[in-house]
Amino acid sequence: MKGIIALDIDGTLTGSDHLIDPEVVDYLSLLHDQEWQLIFISGRSFSWGAATLSQLSFPYFFSCYNGAYLISMPDKFVAERHLLDRSILKQVEELCDRFKTGCVIYGGLDYQENSYFIPSQFDEATNAFFEKRCEVTLEKWIPVNAFSEVPFDKIVSIKYFAKESEAEVIADAIETELGLHVPIINDPIDSSYMVLQATHPKANKGDALENFSAICRWSGIRIAAGNDSNDLPMFQKAQLTIAMQDSPLSLRQLATVVVPGVEELGLITGLRTVISRYEKTR
């Protein structure tokens, strides 16, 4: 193995069509043939991520829900999971009441990825957005009257959808009071919404990359590419990093290179650049 390449999906690997460009597919296949180990680390659900990654014909690893699961593909073996206990739901409801907002409770792979939400917590426009979002993401959201109706014992993720002016305050409260990992990103379906994905504190992209390296027994070069704030922990665990040009300043400041967007095949440019730099120093 030459090294590990860890890639975000939305805004890094895929654009607004949520598909991988055929040139990128070919280039990633070449890297696999050259003995680079690829892992895709995303906030996406498993079903949505796997649908996009099905364009790839070689074995790889997929870490979904920002690192809550680590799964080998295509055999779908779950190598690692970090889930929350349902006892946290009482505190979740208290936060929703305080901030006059709602959230979606994700059940993860053990529960067919069914998710639950309370429609009355959201206005008409947001509920309409949710319908559109579920069509694109292949997620199944089940309406309930209260979170006590949620049938599973373990939770993979709690997603809050908020406007930018509210997002940071809510995220700070969740992190402080519940002790969860809560990055804030632009929703990949409608950027007017911010997504706060609360997960187990060990379910973050940095730990996912670190744990994957341990599974591979690899202590050498790690390359990471991303475009949003949930990629920061992953950048901190990699030696060479690629930020897309529309990334937040905090991510660009950590990047080895900043590259054009998906439509301009910036990921290929970035990978070629950092791999060339690495090979010249070997």
> For residue range 10-63, what is the model confidence (pLDDT) as tens digits?
999 999 899 999 999 999 999 999 999 999 999 999 999 999 999 999 999 999
Query: In this structure, how many other beta carbons lie within 10 angstroms of the beta carbon of residue 30?
Result: 11
Can you tell me the mean pLDDT for 102-110? 94
For 84-198, CATH number out of 3.30.1240.10, 3.40.50.720, 3.60.20.10, 3.40.50.180 equals 3.30.1240.10
Alpha-helix runs per DSSP H in 82-241: 89-99, 124-137, 164-178, 205-216, 232-236
How much of the chain, in percent, has pLDDT values that exceed 70? Answer: 100
Going by pLDDT thresholds of 50, 70 and 90, the confidence category of residue 158 is very high
Helix (H, G, I), strand (E, B) or coil at 282: coil
Can you tell me the mean pLDDT for 53-74? 97
Dihedral angle computed from the Cα positions of residues 153, 86, 10 and 165, in that order, rounded to the nearest 10 degrees: 160
Environment class of residue 70 by beta-carbon count within 10 Å: exposed (0-12), middle (13-18) or buried (19+)?
buried
CATH class of segment(s) 3-82+203-281: alpha beta
Predicted pLDDT at 274: 98
Can you tell me the mean pLDDT for 171-197? 93
Predicted pLDDT at 7: 98
pLDDT tens digits along 198-231: 999 999 999 999 999 999 999 999 999 999 999 9
Going by pLDDT thresholds of 50, 70 and 90, the confidence category of residue 280 is confident
CA distance 126 to 135: 14
Predicted pLDDT at 163: 85
Give CA angle at 176 (194, 227), nearest 5°: 35
Question: Phi-psi category of 17—alpha, beta or left, where left has phi over 0 and alpha has psi -120 to 50?
Answer: alpha
Predicted pLDDT at 164: 85
- Domain ranges within the chain, ordered by starting residue: 3-82+203-281, 84-198
Nearest to 6 by CA among 280, 158, 230: 230
Position 282 pLDDT exceeds 80: no
pLDDT tens digits along 89-101: 999 989 999 999 9
Going by pLDDT thresholds of 50, 70 and 90, the confidence category of residue 134 is very high
pLDDT tens digits along 231-243: 999 999 999 999 9
